[in-house]
Amino acid sequence: MTLENFNEVGPIEVPQEVKDNAKPLEEKMEEPDTSTSTPTYALAGVALILFGGSILLYRRKSAA
């Protein structure tokens, strides 16, 4: 099997060992656990900013 590379590098030869060990796409493979907590932390930070801002506005209006 060869693939023609569009940026003129030349043909890419796929080794037979790689083809022999390849799994078909139809075979169900488990997805890796790559999720992070970053979106949760970002949402919590936005919630804290909004909460703190609302407290500041409330105190400013009640003091006036």
Which tens digits make up the pLDDT trace of 9-26? 777 788 999 989 887 777
Share of the chain above pLDDT 70, in %: 86
pLDDT tens, 23-39? 777 766 777 777 888 99
pLDDT at residue number 9: 73
**For the chain, domain boundaries:** 16-63
Confidence class of residue 5 from pLDDT cuts 50, 70 and 90? low
Separation of alpha carbons 52 and 21, rounded Å: 56
pTM of full prediction above 0.75 = no
Separation of alpha carbons 51 and 8, rounded Å: 57
At position 61, the amino acid (one-letter code) is K
